[in-house]
Amino acid sequence: MTVPISWYLILAAVLFAIGTVGALTRRNGISIFLSIEVMLNAANLTLIAYARQFESHAGQVVVFFVMAVAAAEAAVGLALFIAVFRQRHTIDLNRINLLRW
Amino acid sequence: MLEYLWLIPVLTFLGAALNGLFGSRLPKPVVTAIGVGAPLGALLVALGCLWHFWQGGGEAVGQTYWAWTAGSLSIDAAFLLDRLSAVMLFVVTFVGFLIHVYSAGYMSHESGYWRYFSYLNLFMTAMLLLILGDNYLIMFVGWEGVGLCSYLLIGFYYDQVFPPYAGKKAFIVNRIGDFAFLVGMFALIAKFGTLKYSTIFEQVVKDSSLVTGPYVLGLTFASFVALCFFVGAMGKSAQIPLFVWLPDAMAGPTPVSALIHAATMVTAGVYMIVRTNAIYQAAPGVSMFVAVIGAATAIFAATIGLAQNDIKKVLAYSTVSQLGYMFLAAGLGAYSAAIFHLGTHAFFKALLFLGSGSVIHAMGGEQDMRQMGGLKKALPQTYWTYVIGALAIAGIFPFSGFFSKDEILHAAAGNGQWILYIVGLATAGLTAFYMFRSVFLTFHGKFRGTHEQEHHLHESPPVMTIPLWILAVGAAVAGLAGLPGEGNWLHHTFEKLTERPAGLPEAAEHHVSVLVLALVALAVAGTSIWLALRVYGRDRGLAGDQAFAGRWPTVHRLLENKYYVDEIYDRLIVRPLAALSTFFWKGIDATLIDGTVNTAGATAKVAGEVGRFSTTGNVRNYALYFFLGVIALFVWLIL
């Protein structure tokens, strides 16, 4: 029995929604980061699903790129958070709002 | 020698450039050497050229230096020495040089000495271009150049209030005329495709029907061009209604008044009309208009001259009046008489102005004749030369004005224009009267100025009196050039230049005795001088003016205030224009245009003020915007 593509897509959509809600509602920087990772992986899942459906390797290649970007992002982002935490002893994003009017 | 014609304006231009660029750092004698040397060089070259010109029988000589072509229109930078420009060349370089010499004495105490000579040399350059050019464009360049120099020199004393204002007025009034001149040139280009005198006039003289066809506004082509040029001449040569700038131009240094506002620049309009005579002959209506305006200006200005107290103002109105005379002659088709009077006037009016300058110099800057009187003793040379000038302008035999004025009156009578003749005769009488009023008020009677001024009185140095004497000789004998009768040199000289275009009806010729007219004119002038002597002579001084003011107070006030022409222009033209300008400034520019621009700016500013609050600094808000944006994009793509 083959799993139909719609199942993958629905799963990806659910993951994406969870990620979005998490990114918009959490205040902790790390949590938002994790949510974004979930969104990225939802996108990856979609790409993989379509790659299989259309028997094309292009989708799989893009996924590698996304994973590389996500890794780089995590490295830079975590470094930033550590730097911010040293200065302000918090990574609550509601309290890091210096760049405004 | 004639191939050095180009050198004449170039020399004066070099003088202007040297003094203008380095004059402030040069010692005064060097400035004088350059400033007076340049016109002297120009005069010598001009005399050499003129000598060879007459040796060659007075045939026109054209010299092209380079051709300027724009599309189908080709205009040469070229000079033309024909009999007309030869006469003008002599007058301009000769009188111009003498006035430069005089200026070296008159302006010796001024701080802007080098600036003055630079302007004056530049003026000579422009004037020479005006008369030597072989087409209207070069004339126009000179025309504008003399206007510019006139403006600069009237406003020479720029640290005072009035002179810059007078300069501005002269410039603006002249612009009105220049505009018409330009339109006339455009019409000529459209019709003939060239502005070269010889090309245009040869065609017109050969067949006048070329220009007598209907053109615009119900005018023939000739009338239209003639009218445009005459409006140009009105501005430059101070004719009604554009004469108002000339009396105010007296705010400049006196030698400037002599050179620019009496002898040369203001006669440029007469020169232009005589130059264009082929077209004027084909436009009899406009010619008559020229004559009428000339006569009206002559008598109008002469009456104002009766009641002026400023010695230079008297001479200024007299200049306007004499220019009217020249236009009267030009309008009547007596072109040689117009040039004749132009030449004699250049001598005697320059002489009178320089004489008045000598008086002003002695009086320490005082120009009001009411403060003068009895200057004969202190300034004998100035007195005698001034009297010669006054006799010449009054038209007393055998001084030059007698012959030239007589020629004009004879032209009026010969054309059967008896009204114009009477007006001219009356003007001659008035001229004699107000000139001798100024002689008596200035030089006769008792001194009326302050004790200090009386102590200061002195005859001018030779550098000023020698030019006076040379001009006096000129004013006395210049009439020989146009002795009446068959041997009239000027008449013969201009015969070919003023050839009547073919196809025009012959002008009606009324035979009037020259001798009778001359005697009548002489009698009128003599009576006027005698009257002036009765009213102002001996020790009467100002009593004459008081008697006049007492008997006809309204007339006197009217004349003293120059018929309120300036006030009328102020009400009718200047103020409405100023109001209109204010409307455009405050109503259109400051409110509408600035308002639009400012509103645009203010809108952006308000939008920014409001919009900046979207920048909360909270990353989560930005994420939300981002998300909403994605949704919006999504919706837009799907729908």
From the list A93, A98, A99, the residue facing B620 with the nearest CB is A93
Rg, Å, chain A Cα set: 17
pLDDT at B487: 62
Assess whether B600 and B456 both reside in one domain. no
Mean pLDDT (whole number) for B509-513: 74
Whether A94 sits inside 8 A of B613 (CB atoms) is: no
Which positions in chain A touch B620 (Cβ < 8 Å)?
A: 24, 27, 32, 93-94
Whether B620 sits inside 8 A of A99 (CB atoms) is: no
CB under 8 A, 24+ apart: contacts of B199-204: B200/B278, B200/B279, B201/B278, B201/B279, B204/B278, B204/B279, B204/B282, B204/B501
Distance from C-alpha of B510 to C-alpha of B500, rounded to nearest angstrom: 18
Q: B332: which residues sit within 8 A by CB, 6+ positions away?
A: B287, B291, B408, B411, B412, B415, B417, B420
CATH topology of domain A5-95: Helix Hairpins (1.10.287)
Q: In Å, how far is B606's CA from the nearest CA of chain A?
A: 14
From the list A20, A23, A97, the residue facing B616 with the nearest CB is A97
Whether residue B267 contacts residue B346, with contact meaning beta carbons closer than 8 Å, is answered with yes
Distance from C-alpha of B552 to C-alpha of B549, rounded to nearest angstrom: 5
Q: Residue B157: helix, strand or coil by DSSP?
A: coil
Most A CBs within 10 A among B610, B615, B620, B634, hence the mutation to make, goes to: B620
Residue closest to B286 by CA, chosen among B330, B240, B337? B330
Residue closest to B406 by CA, chosen among B517, B293, B267? B517
Q: Specify if B617 maps to a domain.
A: no
Query: Is A99's Cβ below 8 Å from some Cβ in B?
Result: yes
pLDDT at B58: 81
Mean pLDDT (whole number) for B217-227: 91
pLDDT at B116: 94
From the list B617, B620, B627, the residue facing A20 with the nearest CB is B627
Whether B620 sits inside 8 A of A101 (CB atoms) is: no
Query: Is A101's Cβ below 8 Å from some Cβ in B?
Result: yes
Mean pLDDT (whole number) for B583-609: 92
Whether A27 sits inside 8 A of B616 (CB atoms) is: no
Q: Give start and end residues of each alpha helix (H) in B457-589.
A: 462-477, 489-494, 514-536, 543-551, 553-560, 565-569, 575-582
At B286, is the pLDDT very low, low, confident or very high (cuts 50, 70, 90)?
A: very high
Query: Is A94's Cβ below 8 Å from some Cβ in B?
Result: yes
Assess whether B574 and B481 both reside in one domain. no
Q: B495: which residues sit within 8 A by CB, 6+ positions away?
A: none
From the list A24, A32, A100, the residue facing B627 with the nearest CB is A24
Average pLDDT, chain B: 90
pLDDT at B187: 93
Residue closest to B494 by CA, chosen among B334, B287, B346? B334
Distance from C-alpha of B443 to C-alpha of B380, rounded to nearest angstrom: 9
Q: Residue B64: helix, strand or coil by DSSP?
A: strand
Whether residue B247 contacts residue B562, with contact meaning beta carbons closer than 8 Å, is answered with yes
Whether residue B229 contacts residue B180, with contact meaning beta carbons closer than 8 Å, is answered with yes
Percentage, residues of chain A above pLDDT 70:
98
Kindly tell me if the per-residue pLDDT of A88 is higher than 90. Answer: no
Mean pLDDT (whole number) for B172-191: 93
Assess whether B270 and B281 both reside in one domain. yes
How do residues B39-61 score in pLDDT, each as one tens digit? Answer: 999 999 999 999 999 888 888 88
At B621, is the pLDDT very low, low, confident or very high (cuts 50, 70, 90)?
A: confident
Whether residue B268 contacts residue B234, with contact meaning beta carbons closer than 8 Å, is answered with no
Q: In Å, how far is A54's CA from the nearest CA of chain B?
A: 23
Distance from C-alpha of B405 to C-alpha of B343, rounded to nearest angstrom: 12
How many structural domains is chain B composed of?
2
Which positions in chain B touch A98 (Cβ < 8 Å)?
A: 617
Whether A93 sits inside 8 A of B619 (CB atoms) is: yes
How do residues B458-506 score in pLDDT, each as one tens digit? Answer: 888 899 999 999 999 999 988 887 777 666 777 778 877 878 888 777 7
Whether residue B386 contacts residue B475, with contact meaning beta carbons closer than 8 Å, is answered with no
- Of the listed ranges A63-67, B5-9, B205-209, B478-482, the least confidently predicted one is B478-482
Q: In Å, how far is A6's CA from the nearest CA of chain B?
A: 19
Which positions in chain A touch B616 (Cβ < 8 Å)?
A: 97, 100
Whether A101 sits inside 8 A of B615 (CB atoms) is: yes
Determine phi and psi for A3, rounding to 5 degrees. -80, 125
Q: In Å, how far is A2's CA from the nearest CA of chain B?
A: 30
Assess whether B446 and B591 both reside in one domain. no
Of the residues B503, B535, B560, the one at which a domain ends: B560
At B81, is the pLDDT very low, low, confident or very high (cuts 50, 70, 90)?
A: very high
DSSP B264: S
Please list, residue by residue across B463-472, b when 16 or more beta carbons sit within 10 angstroms of its beta carbon and e when fewer do: bbbbbbbbbb
Q: In Å, how far is B630's CA from the nearest CA of chain A?
A: 12
Assess whether B374 and B487 both reside in one domain. yes
Assess whether B299 and B159 both reside in one domain. yes
Which positions in chain B touch A23 (Cβ < 8 Å)?
A: 623
At A37, is the pLDDT very low, low, confident or very high (cuts 50, 70, 90)?
A: very high
Which positions in chain B touch A27 (Cβ < 8 Å)?
A: 620
pLDDT at B184: 94
Assess whether B216 and B233 both reside in one domain. yes
Assess whether B449 and B572 both reside in one domain. no
- How many CB atoms sit inside 10 A of residue A59's CB? 17
pTM: 0.81
From the list A23, A93, A101, the residue facing B612 with the nearest CB is A101
pLDDT at B537: 79
Query: Is A93's Cβ below 8 Å from some Cβ in B?
Result: yes
Whether residue B95 contacts residue B259, with contact meaning beta carbons closer than 8 Å, is answered with yes
Kindly tell me if the per-residue pLDDT of A17 is higher than 70. Answer: yes
pLDDT at B234: 94
Question: Scanning the structure block, which residue is given the tokens 């299989």?
Answer: A52
Which positions in chain B touch A84 (Cβ < 8 Å)?
A: none
Which two three-digit tokens encode residue B38? 């340049």
From the list A20, A32, A100, the residue facing B616 with the nearest CB is A100
Q: In Å, how far is A89's CA from the nearest CA of chain B?
A: 17
pLDDT at B485: 64
pLDDT at B508: 67
From the list A23, A24, A97, the residue facing B617 with the nearest CB is A97
Assess whether B554 and B574 both reside in one domain. no
How do residues B327-382 score in pLDDT, each as one tens digit? Answer: 999 999 889 899 999 999 999 999 999 999 999 988 888 898 888 888 888 899 99
Assess whether B506 and B581 both reside in one domain. no
Give the residue numbers spanning the domain of B600. Answer: 562-604
Mean pLDDT (whole number) for B533-562: 83
Q: Specify if B613 maps to a domain.
A: no
Distance from C-alpha of A67 to C-alpha of A72, rounded to nearest angstrom: 9
* Chain B residue closest in CA terms to A20: B627
Whether A24 sits inside 8 A of B624 (CB atoms) is: yes
Which positions in chain A touch B618 (Cβ < 8 Å)?
A: 93-94, 97, 100
Query: Is A96's Cβ below 8 Å from some Cβ in B?
Result: yes
Domain ranges of chain A: 5-95
Which positions in chain A touch B627 (Cβ < 8 Å)?
A: 20, 24
Most B CBs within 10 A among A33, A91, A93, hence the mutation to make, goes to: A93
Whether A99 sits inside 8 A of B617 (CB atoms) is: yes
Which positions in chain B touch A92 (Cβ < 8 Å)?
A: none
Distance from C-alpha of B429 to C-alpha of B531, rounded to nearest angstrom: 10
Assess whether B291 and B410 both reside in one domain. yes
Mean pLDDT (whole number) for B147-162: 93
At A1, is the pLDDT very low, low, confident or very high (cuts 50, 70, 90)?
A: low
Task: Return the H-helix or E-strand segment holding B69.
Answer: strand B61-70
Q: Residue B561: helix, strand or coil by DSSP?
A: coil
Kindly tell me if the per-residue pLDDT of B149 is higher than 90. Answer: yes
How do residues B624-636 score in pLDDT, each as one tens digit? Answer: 888 899 999 999 9
Which positions in chain B touch A96 (Cβ < 8 Å)?
A: 619
How do residues B480-489 score in pLDDT, each as one tens digit? Answer: 877 776 667 7
Whether B620 sits inside 8 A of A100 (CB atoms) is: no
pLDDT at B486: 63
Assess whether B124 and B254 both reside in one domain. yes
Task: Return the H-helix or E-strand segment holding B70.
Answer: strand B61-70
Whether B627 sits inside 8 A of A99 (CB atoms) is: no
Whether A98 sits inside 8 A of B617 (CB atoms) is: yes
Whether B617 sits inside 8 A of A27 (CB atoms) is: no
Q: In Å, how far is A32's CA from the nearest CA of chain B?
A: 9
Mean pLDDT (whole number) for B384-391: 94
Chain B residues with a Cβ under 8 Å from any Cβ in chain A: 612-613, 615-620, 623-624, 627
Q: How many Cβ contacts (< 8 angstroms) between chains A and B?
A: 30
Chain A residues 15-44 within an 8 A CB cutoff of chain B: 20, 23-24, 27, 32
* Chain A residue closest in CA terms to B615: A100
Question: Scanning the structure block, which residue is given the tokens 């509103």?
Answer: B599
Check the CA dihedral B460-B463-B469-B471 and report its sign: negative
Most A CBs within 10 A among B613, B615, B619, B622, hence the mutation to make, goes to: B619
